[in-house]
Amino acid sequence: MKIERWLCAVALVTWSAAACPAVPVPVVSQVHVVSVHVRDRAAFDAVFLLFKDALQLPLVYGELSKPGNETRTLYAGFSVGNAYLEPCYKSDAPYPPGQSARFHGLTFSPATSMTETVSLLGPRGLTYSGPFGGGDRPLFVYLSDPMLTGELLTASLWEIQNKQDRVNLRFLGSALEQAKGGALGLKRLAEVRIGHPESNQPAQWTRLLRPATQKNAAWVLGIGPRLRFVPAKEPQIESILLQVESLEKARVYLRSKGLVGTENSILIELDPAKTLGLRIQLLAN
């Protein structure tokens, strides 16, 4: 009888382990930055003014180009509530004909420390370089897997060493809250759409993002934007989706600025001719 009970107990433990496998430790917590690469300094200034003046996104860091900074890499960070949009120049990345700006990269915040994050990448079969930086500078790890990234898409992780730096996640929402959503009534960056040859279930992206859950075929990562994969010949950011409090309020404002491209009762897409080719869509709750 004791042997039978012992065997039953072993069988129960074995069944439980098989039925309830260990949940993997997350690598990323959320998207922190969506970068916008531009062809030249004029395009950098145009995107900067589009975000700052036309869309009235709160500027957190960076400035326009000016005499004396011709050789500098130009960055600017604009809050969209739960992430930053970051125009960047210089960039040697290719651009479609007639387009001088495009969404280029995703920077994630690690779920734990960067040290632990790096230790998780190799066992998941993800190639990377770094970490780079340290001290007062952020720690960066660049993901180099060809089925994650490519000529048109970069992916990285960063850890901000200075916890009082305004680019930290805990400061993300305050700038937008102080602006009361701005003229658009902006609430958050709802979604980033990524073109990928394996749009149904990209294997390497799944290895990076698990154990995050999926809802309506999009990956949900903390309070950051969802990630939705759509068909494309090579990895690239196809568009972003901004959530606003009132689509009608946003519609009235965007029409006054001549920024409306296509629209219907539930969605507005900005005119790409006015956004240097960036695909930006808006929807309400």
**Residue 161 token pair:** 């060493």
| Cβ atoms 30, 221 nearer than 8 A | yes
Residue 201: is its pLDDT beyond 60? yes
Q: What percent of the chain has pLDDT over 90?
A: 59
Residue 161: is its pLDDT beyond 90? no
Model-wide pTM > 0.75: yes
Q: What percent of the chain has pLDDT over 70?
A: 86
Residue 17: is its pLDDT beyond 60? no
**Cα-based torsion angle of the residue sequence 254, 257, 259, 261 in order, rounded to the nearest 10 degrees:** 70
Question: So what's the pLDDT on residue 188?
Answer: 95
Task: Tell me the C-alpha distance between 57 and 176, whole Å.
Answer: 8
Helix residue spans in the chain (DSSP H): 2-19, 41-49, 114-121, 172-178, 203-209, 247-256
Question: So what's the pLDDT on residue 22?
Answer: 66
Cα 151 to the center of its chain, rounded Å: 17
CATH code of 28-283, in short, is 3.10.180.10
pLDDT (mean) for 16-38? 78
